[in-house]
Structures are given as C-alpha cells and as structure tokens.
Chains A and B, each alone.
Chain A
C-alpha cells in the first residue's frame, strides 16, 4: 500500500533555495506526484505535479528520480510569503478508482 512521508518542519531564510523531499514507496509508473501549499485559514492550493524526471513552472520545480521512490519540491529564492505548509500527494492512477494518498505536510518557516 502506497504511503507518503515528508518532514514535519523546515526552516529557511529569505533568498535561499528550499528543497522539500517526500518519500513514496509502491507507486506505479503512471502515478502522479502533486504538491500543494496551504496558508492559515485557507484551503490547499495546487503548486506543481509530475510523474517522472523534472517539471518546472513559474513558482517551483519538481524532481522525480528514476526509481520514483521519492520526489523533491524545489522553491527557488524563498520570501517571507512562502511561509506555509506544503503537502505531498501521490495520485494512484487506477482508472475510475484513483486513490489520493496525502502526506501529513511540511511546515516551512522562512525567516528574514
């Protein structure tokens, strides 16, 4: 049974690159890894998703090694406004019965 594990918390400073790694065993080749960001009193917000190698958009990059047992969300040059909880989600692509396996979230604190 697939499970996602991520660090509970991380600290960083403004301007640094932050990498948050999620471990996920037993995922198939076409299962997706998705990351969400959540601010207090708001719902999670989609950041990025992929299922292999590297994906980049305007806010983040997602690195997925060949063995797909982990993935890394990379936030370049963080600012104070990036302080939030980041969730790793594995979407098991099982047709009409797709399953969503959420991590427990990583609380990122960006310091001045």
Chain B
C-alpha cells in the first residue's frame, strides 16, 4: 500500500499561472483533506471532503478550488497563483471524518513556490 500519494513533489509557478495538485489514497478512506503548512503558522485546513461527492471550505479556502474526483482522488487547484500561496501543501485522508478517533494519514507534501 502506498498510502497517500501527492504529485508533484515540487513546483515553481509565476504569479497568475494555474496548476492542479493531485492526491490519491489507496486505503479506501471516505474523508480527504488539503492543508497548507507555513513556518510559524502550523497546519491550516484549506478544504476537506467528508465523503465522495461532498466538499467543504476549511479555514483558508480563498484562491483555491477542489474536486473529489472519486473516492480515491482529491485534487486542489490554484486558478491564479499568488506569492502568498507559496507553501507546503499536504493531502490527508481518514477512514471516517465524522469520527473523532479516526486518525489522519498524510502524504509527503508538495512544495510550491510562486514568484
């Protein structure tokens, strides 16, 4: 089992460019998440999907869109990248997002730089 796989690992964009970060999990989990991690600010939730077919905004959704393509895949799109979106992006999944004792499993992140 690969767990949670994120692509690409690294990306450099110019301001205004668009891109999609891909995430796939092979654990048959229902819930999936996108976080960004910035120095001194910890992990901040961008969007999550409680189950296939549903998506909800997290703390910092502005500038992002998501698609829960199927149960396995949850993509994050930046339509017009800005330098403030320079960050490390983590995708995570959990078996059942409605259960407090359902731990998150994280991918190894995408390091994005916007110039």
Q: How far is the CA of A98 from the CA of B105 in the complex (A)?
A: 17
Extra A-B contacts (13), CB below 8 Å, given A41-B108, A95-B98:
A31-B100, A42-B108, A43-B90, A43-B92, A44-B43, A46-B105, A51-B101, A91-B101, A96-B98, A98-B100, A100-B104, A104-B40, A104-B41
B35 CB to closest chain A CB, in angstroms?
A: 9
The one of B50, B100, B103, B107 that contacts A92, using a Cβ cutoff of 8 Å: B100
Cβ A30 vs Cβ B100 within 8 A: yes
Given the known inter-chain contacts A30-B100, A32-B100, A44-B106, please indicate yes or no for A104 contacting B42, CB distance below 8 A.
Answer: yes
A interface, how many residues as a size bin? 20 to 34
Whether A42 contacts B98 in the complex (CB less than 8 A), given A87-B42, A96-B50, A104-B42, comes out as no
How many residues does chain B have at the interface if contact means C-beta atoms less than 8 Å apart?
A: 21
Contact B103 A102 (CB under 8 A): no
Give the contacts of A29-50 with B (CB-CB under 8 A). 30-32, 34, 36, 41-46, 49
